[in-house]
Amino acid sequence: MRLYPKSIWIVFMYVFFLLALGHIYLSTLSYGHFQAMHSGSVMGLEVVSGLSAFSDNLNKHIDKLNHTSFKTNILAALGYIAATATAYFSYRRERSQQHPAEKS
């Protein structure tokens, strides 16, 4: 009785499916925007204008990071779903090619 080849595909399906779920969850996470709280003047210079420009540039960068992270995690999840399907079909193929003496 050869149990090993059949059971390994089930383990692979389980692992790949959990990895896909993990990446789907990670795709929902994102970084929040930076908000400058300090305002006023220092030695007669307006501090808000410098922080505002910095905040705008940083928030644009954060938006790019969030978008890239979302796409990367979705593509990884799709790859793991494909790996899950491959393991499933391999399991089915292995099961269908059993020797007559092994079938029960």
Residue 97 is assigned to a structural domain of this protein: no
Residue 13 is assigned to a structural domain of this protein: yes
Q: What is the DSSP string of 15-77?
A: HHHHHHHHHHHHHT--PPPP-----SEETTEEHHHHHHHHHHHHHHHHHHHHHHHHHHHHHHH
76-99 pLDDT, tens digit per residue, is: 999 999 999 999 999 998 888 865
Domain carrying residue 8: 4-26+48-92
Residue 56 is assigned to a structural domain of this protein: yes
Residue 79 is assigned to a structural domain of this protein: yes
> Rounded distance, CA 76 to CA 61, Å?
22
1-12 pLDDT, tens digit per residue, is: 555 657 899 999
Q: How many domains does the chain have?
A: 1
Q: What is the pLDDT of residue 21?
A: 98
Q: What is the pLDDT of residue 104?
A: 52
27-76 pLDDT, tens digit per residue, is: 999 999 988 766 666 666 666 666 778 889 999 999 999 999 999 999 99
